[in-house]
Amino acid sequence: MSKEVVRVLVASTNPVKIEAARVGIEPFIKGRELVVLGEATDSGVADQPYGDAETLRGARNRLAALCRGTKQADFYVAFEGGVFKTEDGRLHVAAWVCVSMHGDDYVSEARTATFQVPPAVQKLMEVEGLELGHADDKIFGRVESGRSEGTVGILTAGRLCRDRYYAHAMELAMIPFINANLYSLPCRLLLDICLLVAVFLRVKGAQMVFREDRTRDLPPQFYIMSAVHKGKKAVQANGQLRFSAKHMVTGALVDACVDPRWDFTVAAVLARLAAAREKDGPESPKLASIYMAMLLLVPPSSRSALSCEAVQRELSKEWYHNNIRECIKTSATKLISAWKLGPVPSNTTNDKSLRTTPAAARLVIGVPDLLWLSDAAEQYLYDEYGADTGDYRMNLKKIVDPLKHLAENPESVYPITREKIINVAGDRSDARTREFLQEVGSSVDTRKREREHEETIKEAKQLRAALDARYNHIGGEHDVCPSCGATGRIRFRFLEGYGQSDCRKNEVWGASTEMHATGPRKEANMSTHGYTGRFIKDHCVYGQASIVLSDDMAALSKWSSNATDTFSRKTKIICTMGPSCWDVDTLVKMIDQGMNVARLNFSHGDFEAHGATVQRIREALKQRPGKHVAILLDTKGPEIRTGFFKEEGGKVKLEAGQELVLTTDYDFKGDSTKIACSYAKLPQSVKPGSTILMADGTVSLEVIECLEDSVRTRVMNNATIGERKNMNLPGVRVDLPCISEKDKNDILNFGIPQGVNFIAASFVQDGDDVRGLRKLLGPRGRHIKIISKIENESGMKHFDDILAASDGIMIARGDLGMEIPPEKVFLAQKMMTGRCNLMGKPVITATQMLESMVTNPRPTRAEASDVANAVLDGTDVVMLSGESAGGAFPVQAVSIMRRICEEAESSIDYDTLFQRIRETVMNQNDGGLAIPEAVCSSAVKACIECNATLIVALTETGATAKLLSKYRPSPPILALSASESTIKHLQLYRGIVALQVPSFQGTDHVIRNALEHAKQVGLCSVGDKIVAVHGVKEEVSGSSNLMKVLEVD
C-alpha cells in the first residue's frame, strides 16, 4: 500500500534550507512520505539584511511570493538569515522562518538562536560591504560556505551546521499547526461555497456516503488530509459525493431556516419548504438554500422520498440556474455564521476529542463535474470582482486553478481559508475593491460630471477674459513676448473650452513660447515649448509634440538605411489581413518590415477563412521566433443598409432636388423614387432637416417629413447608387446594439477559442456598450483587451466614459468623417489622441492612411504627412486597411509606413515632451502620483539625466511598461514578462519592445540575461547606462516601486 504524500515547498534552492525544512517537519508526519522541493524567490530586501525587522520582512516576502506561484504544496516554508547589532555595537546573526499551511493567510513565524559574528568578519562586512557568507569565505578560506555548514558550522567546528541550526526554528514554527485547537486555526475547506451550488445544480440525485475514520494520533488538518486521500479510493465516478461525518458543518451551514438540531426528516424538510414558499415566494434565494440543505443534509436512507413530483418540479426551475450569485451570497452568509458557532454539535458524533474543533467540512466531488464547476466558480469571481483585479487573480489561483488541476490529479489537496470564502461571498469592504469599482466607473455620478463640465466652461471663459485684459490685441497683432522679450505674433482662439496660442521669434523653430492653462489657475502660464491644451479643471490635454529639425538640409534627401524593421521604431503598425497577404511568405516579409498586430476584419469572411489566416500567422511567427504579432478581431458592428432593387443587381439614378422615400419595409424592392432601409426606427430617429448619407457619403439626403414607417427626403446631389449600400445618420444616436448577434457569435465561437488578443468594437456609443462587451467576454475571455472604435457623434459625446471603460481607442476616421464635419475630424483626432495619452491607454489612428498604395507603389505626399502628423500627435499605433488586405503592394506599404514613423519619431524633443506630460499629470492629480506611476515617471527622468540608452521593465501584467510608455521616454522600453498574453498586449503600446522570459526568479539574473539579448539586437552596447524598473513583489497589485541605474558590461 503506497504511503500518503506530504509536499513541502521551500522558497530557496539552497540545499541547506531545503534540508532544514525536511528535518523540521519530518517528526510531525510519521507514516507519510515527505517530498521537499525548492524554488527561488525574491526577498524584496537587501542581499544582506540588517536588523531583525528587515530579516523578518525578507522571509515574509519570500513566503508570499512562493504562495502566489503555481506550484501547490501542503506546507510553504521561507527562511531569511540576517544580522543585527546589539547596544554595544557587536554584530549578531539570526534567521527567521515563516511557514504557511496550504498557502493560507495564517503564517507561523519563529527565529533561531543568535550568536556573535567574529570581529574580523564584522569589519569586512562594514568596511567592504560584503555579505556574511562572502566575508566568512574570505576569512576562513571557504567556498560558498552559506550553501553548506554556514557561519555557525564554521564557528562550532561542525557540531551545529546551518541546516540543523535552521531546523530548530522550523520545529518551533510548526507548533501552531500541531496544536490547532489552542491557536484557533480554521480547518481546511477543499472547495468553497460554490460547491454547494454545484451540488444543488448537478448532483441532486447523487448518493451520499458518510465515512468514518478512527485515526486519533493526528491533528485535525492531517486527519482531513488523510480522509480525503483515502476517500478517493471509494469514489468510482458519476458525481458521488463524500462527506467526512466527524467534521460536518452544523445545520446553520446553509440557511437559518434549516433546523440546527439536525431534524432532517423528509416531512420536516417539505414543511419548511412549503412555509418558505408561502412567506418568501417561489423565486427566493432562501428557498434555493433550503433545496441545497435538503440535498446535503437529508439522511441517505430518506433520499428516495425526495422524488415526489412537487419537489422535482421546483428543483428543475430555470430561475435557480439564473440566480446562482444570489444563492451563493445567501448561503455563504450562513456558512460564515456557522463557522463562528465553534464546536460541532455533540449529537453529530460520539468522539469527544473532536467536539472542540472548529466546524468544517470537506467535499470530494466526481471528476466529471470538476471542469464544469471551475467554469461556474470562475464566472462568479468575474462577476463579483471584475477582470484584472488583485482579488480576482488571487481567488482564481486559490479556487479555479486548483479545481482544474484536481480534475487531472484527484489525489491533490487544495485549501481555501475562511477569509477567502468571505471575499468570494461578496465582502467589498476592502480598499482595493473599492478603488477598482471607482476605476471602472460603476459609481459614476452623471450629474456631478455635468456640473464639473459647467465649471470647466465657466473657468475657460474667465481665463479668456483674463487673457483679453492682459493682451488686448488678440487675433493676429504683434507684440513683445513677455517670456523671451522677442517681437512676434500672439494669437488666441477660444472654442468650446479649447485654447491655443503661439509666439515665435522671427518664425524660427525652437524659439516658440506659449500661454496655456494648467489646472484651475486663472491666468495663463508661460512655457518655452509649443502646446495645445484644453481648459478643464485639474486636467490639461497635451497635443502635438515639439519637434527638433537638423540644420543640414542635405540630410533630408537621404534614404533610410534600414531595409527591415529594427527595435528603434516606437510607433506600432496594424495590418489588415486579406487576399494580398494570405500566404506565409508574404506574412514573414510583413513581420520583417514592422507588422505588430494582425487585424481580422469580420465585416468580411467566415470562420474558416479567418481561422486559416490565424494559422498562417502562427506559422510565419515560427520562422521569426524573436518577433511577436498580436491578433485583433474587428467586429462588423451594427449597420444600416439600403435594400434591393426591382431589377436584381441593378442601380438607380438619383437627381438633385428630387424626392426619395426611405421605407422601413426591407422586403420592398426599390426604384428611383423609393428605397428600402434596414433600420426599423428610422422615422423615430430623424427629424425634418436631418441629413442622411448613403454609399460612403456619395449621396446626401435632407429629411422633409417623418411618417409612421417611412421618411420623405430630398436628394441633394446627382448620383447613381447600387443595392445594399451603407447609410449614416450624422448627429443621430442609432438605437441598435453595439454588439450584434453576429458579433456575439464571432466573439464567442471564434475570438475566444482562437485566442485573439484584442477585440475592436465597432460604433461604440457610450461606456455601457464597452461594459456589456466585457460581460459578454466573461472569464473565458478575460485575456482579451477591448479597443473601442469611435465612429460617430455619440461616441464623441461620451468619449470620457468610453475611454474609462476601454483598454484602448481606435479613431476610425472614415465613418467619423461622415458623422461630424470633415474640417473638424483632425481636431477630434488630436483631442482623442491627447486624452488617451494622458490616461496611458493606447490609441490607434486608422482609415485611409496610405490609401493610394492599394494600386501605387508609393504614397502621396499628403498621406505621408498624415502618418507623420499622427505620430507627432502622440498616436501609439497606425493602421493599414485595404493597403495590406487587398492592395498590390502590402509589403511595401508596411515598409514605407515604418520608415515614416521612424523619421517622425526622430524629430521629437523627448525631454520637453516628458516635462510637459509630467506637469500636466501632476496638475491633474493635485500634485501627487501613485507609487507605481511616480517610480515610472522618475525612471524616465533618470534616463534624461544620465543619458540612458535603454529602460528594462520587469512586468507580470504589463502595468509597469505601460506607465513607462505613458511618459514617452526617448530610449526604448525592454519589457520582460513571463506571460505570453502580456507580451501580446504590449504590441499596442508605443516605445515598448516585449521579450518573454521563463520567470522572474532571481531578478538580477533575469536583467543580466535581458541585457545580453539587448546587446545582440542592438538596443544597447557595453558601457551604456540603462534604467531598470521592477517591484519587490514582482508587480502584484501594481506594486512597482524599485528603480535602479546600471551600466552594461
Report in angstroms the alpha-carbon separations of 1003 from 44, 277, 993, 1042.
10, 60, 19, 11
H or E segment to which residue 126 belongs = helix 119-127
Contact 558, 855 (CB under 8 A): no
Alpha-carbon distance of 580 to 854, in angstroms, equals 10
- With both helix axes pointing from N to C terminus, report the angle between 584-593 and 890-906 in degrees, rounded to the nearest 10: 10
Catalytic residue among 41, 151, 663, 847: 847
CB 220 within 8 A of CB 244: no
Pairing assessment for the beta strands 75-85 and 5-10 based on DSSP bridges:
parallel
Cα–Cα distance, 546 to 553 (Å, whole number): 19
362 is catalytic: no
Q: Which one is catalytic: 641, 725, 780, 918? A: 641
- Residues whose CB is less than 8 angstroms from the CB of residue 590 and which lie 6 or more positions away in sequence, other chains included: 575, 581, 884, 890, 891, 894
Rounded distance between C-alpha atoms, residue 1034 and residue 42, angstroms:
8
> Which residues make Cβ contacts (< 8 Å) with residue 8, sequence separation at least 6?
21, 22, 25, 34, 35, 36, 37, 73, 74, 75, 76, 77
User: Under a CB-based contact definition with an 8 Å cutoff, are residues 989 and 842 in contact?
Assistant: yes
- The amino acid present at 107, given as its one-letter code, is V
Contact 824, 792 (CB under 8 A): no
Active-site residue, from 393, 418, 504, 599: 599
Q: 784 with 756: CB under 8 angstroms? A: yes
Q: Which helix (H) or strand (E) holds 801?
A: helix 799-805
Which residues on neighbouring strands pair with residue 645, listed in sequence order? 670
Residues forming beta bridges with residue 843, ordered by sequence position: 809
Which are the contacts of 267, defined by CB distance < 8 A and separation ≥ 6?
none
Q: Give the H/E segment covering residue 196.
A: helix 194-202
Choice among 789, 835, 962, 1033 that is catalytic: 789
What's the grid cell of residue 316? 428543475
Angle of helix 194-202 relative to helix 324-340, nearest 10 degrees, comes to 130
Angle between helices 931-946 and 959-966 in degrees, nearest 10: 50
DSSP reduced 3-state for 163? helix
Residue 831's Cβ-count burial label (10 Å; 0-12, 13-18, 19+) is buried
Gap between the Cα atoms of 200 and 183, Å rounded: 34
- In the numeric block, which cell numbers belong to residue 849? 492612411
Q: CB of 636 within 8 A of CB of 618?
A: no
Q: Is 861 a catalytic residue?
A: no
Q: Which neighbouring-strand residues pair with 501? A: 492
DSSP annotation of 49 reads -
Helix (H, G, I), strand (E, B) or coil at 410: coil
- Provide the pairing of β-strand 843-846 with 808-812: parallel
Say how far apart CA 94 and CA 98 lie, in whole Å: 14
C-beta of residue 980 within 8 angstroms of C-beta of residue 997: no
DSSP states along 983-1047 = HHHGGGSTTEEEEE-S--SSHHHHHHHHHHHHHHHTS--TT-EEEEEE-TTTTGGG---EEEEEE
Contact indicator for 1034, 1000 with CB cutoff of 8 Å: yes
Active site residue 202: no
Cell of 1034: 514582482
Chain center to CA of 309: 48
Q: How far apart are CA 643 and CA 668, in angstroms?
A: 7
641 is catalytic: yes
Q: Point out the residues that are catalytic.
A: 599, 641, 789, 847
